[in-house]
Chain A
Amino acid sequence: MYCEKDHWDWEPGAREVADIDSWKSEHSYVEEVYASPDGEKAAAVVKTEEGEFSLRVNDATWEPSFDRAWYPRFAPDGRLTALVSSGGEWTLAIDGVLWENGFDFAWDTRLGADGAHAVVAVQRGGRYAAAVDGEAWEDDFADFTGLAVSEDGLHAAAVVQTKPFGQADIETFQQGCYSVAVDGKVWDRSFVNAWNPALSPDGVRSAATVRTSLYDYSIAVDGEPWKASFPCAWEPRFNPKDGSVWAPVKTPGGWTLFRDGERAWKKDFVELWRHSFSPDGKRVAAVVAKTFGRWTVAVDGKPWSATFGDMVTDLAWSPDGARAAATGKDKGRWTIVVDGKPWPASFDRVWPPVWSPDGRHTAARVKKNGSETVAVDGRLISESFVKVFTPSWSPDGTKLLVRGVRTAASAGRAYVRSVVSLSEFLG
């Protein structure tokens, strides 16, 4: 399989990529820095002249400037996107090139896994749609929320309003005025509410949590609700392999996991959400509260014994699906918990764990004593930063790419990319 990462610079050592201080001397206004996945580019929204904004990328600034530019995000392939407006018209700019179509508003940029395709939510004349690679859906809607995009970035779904209702018209609302539109085509049936639309990985099928009355919740798949209804339900997700739809639902005994309308897990929990499938689709894990206020992860219905008082989130499967990790927070301290075993260290803040390709290590961006760095299996790398970005593993799992903004020799700020060899570091 072609792997973009093979072509990244994996030579151990640190390299200063951009001198943020010099940006600040060139521009009277510089926003926070974003880094490309390969670490070779740093970007920020800057002011080019009074009332004009653009994107600074390393030593260059995008040619066009805008009345406003925001939400700079690098695509997985390293292209830089930003939402920009000029003369009241909004669009997406990619590496300084604007989509041909403009909109009255554009927001919520989503990028496909390979970065080739982009989707944004758009509004034109008070009507709403999604625009895929610049082309808005043919049908537009009175309201639009909860954009969901397929893995390849080619399909989009969202909750849309299907029927108009007046101010404080509670009767019409309760008859059902919302549904889900997939690539602009709305489901046959409307509901009182629809939330959390999800697309199958190929973007063909769709599911959402729906409320058929103020009291009855269910999961609708391609517009058809499950036969069972529940006092409450959370987000549905597609199993990546067999296409089954799974969702946390509330039963009289508590929260549990249902699959295609049938109970999948025997056990009930005080809470259950953020379920996640292993890459092979064979296993499923979810964040659960075993008892009131005690959080952990349950894998295939079996909860880990370690629990956290504040929360658990960021469930992540190892590439082979054998192991799972998550972030846990207890008494204000964050850590990573792997297969139920917390890292031997805790931090002020922790970001989602990243598995090594061989599934032997987890790494994460962490914050401790006011500075940020990367930790592997709970041990900090030696460098510390003002801010770091999510670390990346080399394809062979022996090195880690650390991208961060640090205090430079000049005492100013610099963006650096640093490749850390695991052997050096873990001994």
Chain B
Amino acid sequence: MSQVALKKETPVSDDGMLKGAAKLTPEKIRETVRKVLDGETGARLKTYAAMCARCGMCSDACHFCLSHDRDPAWSPAGKVKRTIWELVRTGGKVDAEFILDACRIAHTECNLCKRCAMYCPFGIDVAYMMLVMRRICHKLGVTPQYIQDTAHSHSATMNQMWVKEDEWIDSLQWQEDEAREEMPNLRIPIEKEGADIMYSVIGPEPKFRAQLIYQAAVILNASGVDWTMPGTPGWDNSDMCMYTGDNEMMGRLKRAHFDTAVRLRVSRIVMGECGHAFRSVHDMGNRWLGYRQPPVPVIHAVEFYHEILKQGRIKIAKKFEGPVTLHDPCNIVRGHGLHEMAREVVRLTCDELIEMHPNREHNYCCSAGGGVINCGPPFKTSRVVGNRVKAEQLFAAKARGAKTVVAPCHNCHGGLEDIIHHYGLGMDVKFLGDIIYSCMEKPE
């Protein structure tokens, strides 16, 4: 019965976690754990904990485990054993050190990518259990500093990046001005009530990647759809509170987003190339609010691009040169089965697609998702080192000629860029929007 923990522990250097853990007492831990386990969890957690046969089949699923030479401590069940099982087993009789460790595992060594649910014969949802662990950490006040700060931003501004109300509108108008240099009558319609589509983005777009709003505006205009963007909070579809276990804020954010779309009375929301936001609107946030599905249909950019290309609403002037490879973002592939549509968009816009393997639902996560990249610099190395298998996949695609990685998700972008840099792969990462914008016929 060997119980060797092969995993080498790196001491936690995160200020938010350390300060939070310093305030813990055994009583507080026990009480909080009991409250969450008894009050907020039920049949799912109990059944999963009771039935897991400890067969180890989930090891094949996890990029962290595979990248650490199958070190079992990194396997999904291994991580559950080191976190929530121990809390269930002991009824929360653990020390602050344990919570610190569990927080690091749940927040930074699991991307909640749900790949393991496809490898567990019983369909045990490890991501759910990791979220319960994060919920307990949230209730204990032990959450990595950077993602907690993001959650604070969400609570104060309803967006991820502390963007103030005027800054948001100003960014849109600035991008409209920029785009008018290229297309004089282009418009980013703000608060156009009754439009068909509300286009929504994530906080980092106005803050760091405003050109994406420009590109989207060009694509939306060229496609001739009736669209608008909100001029009020609720424009941001992102949701890091979903990942910090602050479920109440997750609900508040989603309500703001849905209410904005309902107020503008659009028939659907089209969201930019983001993965986690999609999970938040059609899987987690909506459920917390009591919506079986989003009250206003939410269409991911991949679906929208597919639609306008197929309908001939935009035309490709010249296909993107050089072979590309396509990264499948977990939240839209295992999360919504958009892998074939994404491939079709790539085929319609690019010269050649070189597949990575495994792919589609069996893709490897970028290791940035699930809020992991949002935990910031203290955990960057472990996230990149923990995804060697992705680097190997990318390298294999590059060896077959792919110079560009298409990744229709913001977090994937960040994660893949870090991997490419760390492993010296020398590839470009692009959004589908980048490619469509650069290859489309632009109206005068």
Q: State the A residues within 8 Å of B (CB).
A: 28-29, 31-32, 47, 50, 68, 70-71, 105, 107-108, 121, 123, 128, 143-146, 161, 167-171, 173-174, 178, 192-193, 195, 211, 214-215, 217, 231-232, 250, 252, 270-271, 273, 289, 292-293, 295, 309-311, 313, 329, 332, 348-349, 351, 387
Contacts and interface: CB of A to CB of B under 8 A. Distances in A.
Contacts of A32: 189, 192
A74 B16 CA distance: 49
Contact of B148 (A47, A143, A170, A329): A170
Given A145-B157, A293-B290, A293-B293, 20 more contacts: A31-B187, A31-B189, A71-B190, A161-B156, A169-B149, A170-B16, A170-B145, A193-B155, A214-B138, A214-B246, A217-B248, A232-B252, A271-B289, A293-B291, A309-B292, A311-B258, A313-B262, A332-B297, A351-B194, A387-B194
B141 interface: yes
B141 A310 contact: no
B173 A68 contact: yes
Contacts of B287: 292
B232 A214 contact: no
A252 B166 CA distance: 38
B310 interface: no
A168 B192 CA distance: 35
Top 3 closest pairs, chain A to chain B, by CB: A293-B292, A311-B295, A271-B290
Contacts of B164: 123, 128, 143-145
Q: Output the residue of B169, B231, B255, B290 with the most chain A CB within 10 A.
A: B290
10 contacts: A71-B231, A105-B166, A107-B169, A145-B157, A169-B149, A170-B148, A170-B152, A292-B287, A309-B292, A310-B291
Interface string B189-202: 11110100000000
Nearest to B267: A349
Interface of B: 16, 19, 39, 138-139, 141, 145-146, 148-149, 152, 155-158, 164-166, 169-170, 173, 184-185, 187, 189-192, 194, 231-233, 246, 248, 251-252, 255, 258, 262, 265, 267, 287, 289-293, 295, 297
A71 to B, nearest CB: 6
A295 B290 CA distance: 9
A145 B231 contact: no
Nearest to A90: B166
A76 B255 CA distance: 29
B100 to A, nearest CB: 16
B265 A351 contact: yes
Given A70-B190, A121-B165, A29 B185 contact: yes
B248 A231 contact: yes
A105 B169 CA distance: 10
A173 B152 contact: yes
B295 A144 contact: no
Nearest to B176: A68
Nearest to B292: A293
A332 B294 CA distance: 11
A108 B232 contact: yes
Contacts of A192: 155
